[in-house]
């Protein structure tokens, strides 16, 4: 199926690590002109260079998404380089306090993760939407999480940030819909990456005195499909929602979790 993404300008926040890297490379492979936004220019430089070596157009822009002024400035740089913004994918985010109840979490910890996971997405959307509205075309994909659909003990701050992102996404979808702008959210479950392999699985191995393979199988058994989500699974969902193939889909939160949050 042809996604029709070639030549479109895609902005990706948090473009390097894990699913962010897979998403960035996926859009570049589809022929998008890429703008990589993140705090650490040095970390983005190798990926940008690799994309250009493969024939893609790509620029890296330093941006702290928790700063509205930084987001406005970054998007101005994208428009100066490419003339427009067609796609925004908000991947940048954090985990917040882990293993703490709500009453053990202090206000600063709570506000920090909301500022990054929720307000950061608000800032970037606010920066790109005037241009998308003016050109009567645009796609925004926010990366949420399944804990923002079912909640999770010990992750109340993170869950709150992702629940908030769902509400923001759905509301902006209604506001931007009349201007042919689609706004959706992809909600990954546990993704087979660094944290899964170095934290989640070792903890399970120790708790139940089992092997790594047994721990992975035990974790996968929670999902209807019996397998762990990959970075590429998340990237494919983002590509779909950013393409014209999904032109009639907006305000949707799409779990990419093998069947956990919705079952």
Q: Can you give the CATH number for the domain in which 47 is found? A: 3.40.50.720
Domain check: are 201 and 106 in the same one?
no
Question: Model confidence at 220, in pLDDT bands (50, 70, 90)?
Answer: confident
What is the pTM (predicted TM-score) of this model? 0.94
What interhelical angle do 107-114 and 156-176 show, nearest 10?
30
Q: Quick: pLDDT tens for 84-101.
A: 999 999 999 887 667 788
Domain check: are 19 and 131 in the same one?
yes
* Residue 222 forms part of a structural domain: yes
Domain check: are 32 and 46 in the same one?
yes
What is the domain extent for residue 71?
9-190+231-256
* Residue 262 forms part of a structural domain: no
Q: Quick: pLDDT tens for 140-173.
A: 999 998 888 887 777 788 899 999 999 999 999 9
Domain check: are 22 and 132 in the same one?
yes
Domain check: are 55 and 161 in the same one?
yes
Residue 82 has pLDDT above 90, yes or no: yes
Active-site residue flag, 223: no
Question: Model confidence at 221, in pLDDT bands (50, 70, 90)?
Answer: confident
Domain check: are 133 and 216 in the same one?
no
> Which of 61-65, 78-82, 259-263 has the least mean pLDDT?
259-263
State residue 218's pLDDT score: 86
State residue 77's pLDDT score: 98
Q: In what order do the strands lie in the sheet with 9-13?
A: 58-62, 33-38, 9-13, 87-90, 138-143, 181-188, 253-256
Answer yes or no: are the C-beta atoms of 84 and 139 closer than 8 Å.
Answer: no
CA distance linking residue 117 with residue 142, whole number of Å: 10
Residue 13 has pLDDT above 90, yes or no: yes
Domain check: are 84 and 183 in the same one?
yes
* Residue 263 forms part of a structural domain: no
Domain check: are 235 and 136 in the same one?
yes
Domain check: are 168 and 214 in the same one?
no
Domain check: are 140 and 61 in the same one?
yes
State residue 131's pLDDT score: 98
Residue 22: C-alpha distances to residues 15, 28, 91, 99, 111 (Å): 8, 10, 11, 28, 29
Domain total for the chain? 2
CA distance linking residue 62 with residue 56, whole number of Å: 19
* Residue 4 forms part of a structural domain: no
* Residue 129 forms part of a structural domain: yes
Residue 28 has pLDDT above 90, yes or no: yes
Q: Quick: pLDDT tens for 180-214.
A: 999 999 999 888 888 788 878 888 888 899 988 88
Domain check: are 123 and 169 in the same one?
yes
Domain check: are 152 and 218 in the same one?
no
Which one of the listed residues 158, 179, 208, 223 is annotated catalytic? Answer: 158
Q: What is the pLDDT of the chain when averaged over all its residues?
A: 93
Q: Quick: pLDDT tens for 55-77.
A: 999 999 999 999 999 999 999 99
């Amino acid at each position: 199926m042809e996604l029709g993404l070639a030549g479109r300008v895609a902005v990706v926040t948090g473009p390097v690590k894990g699913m962010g890297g897979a998403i960035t490379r996926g859009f570049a492979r589809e022929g998008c002109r890429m703008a990589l936004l993140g705090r650490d220019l040095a970390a983005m430089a190798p990926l940008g260079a690799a994309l250009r070596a493969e024939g893609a157009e790509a620029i890296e822009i330093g941006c702290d998404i928790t700063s509205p002024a930084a987001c406005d400035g970054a998007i101005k740089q994208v428009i100066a380089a490419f003339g427009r913004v067609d796609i925004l994918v908000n991947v940048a985010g954090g985990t917040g306090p882990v293993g703490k109840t709500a009453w053990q979490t202090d206000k600063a910890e709570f506000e920090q993760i909301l500022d990054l996971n929720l307000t950061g997405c608000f800032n970037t959307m606010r920066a790109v939407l005037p241009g998308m509205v003016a050109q009567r075309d645009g796609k925004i994909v926010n990366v949420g999480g399944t804990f923002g659909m079912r909640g999770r003990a010990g992750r109340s701050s993170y869950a709150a940030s992702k629940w908030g992102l769902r509400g923001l996404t759905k509301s902006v979808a209604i506001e931007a819909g009349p201007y042919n702008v689609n706004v959706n959210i992809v909600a990954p479950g546990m993704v087979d990456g660094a944290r899964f392999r170095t934290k989640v699985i070792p903890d399970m191995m120790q708790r139940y005195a089992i092997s790594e393979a047994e721990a992975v199988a035990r974790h996968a058994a929670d999902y209807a499909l019996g397998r762990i989500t990959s970075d590429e699974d998340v990237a494919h969902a983002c590509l779909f929602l950013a393409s014209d193939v999904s032109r009639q889909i907006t305000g949707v939160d799409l779990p990419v979790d093998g069947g956990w949050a919705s079952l």
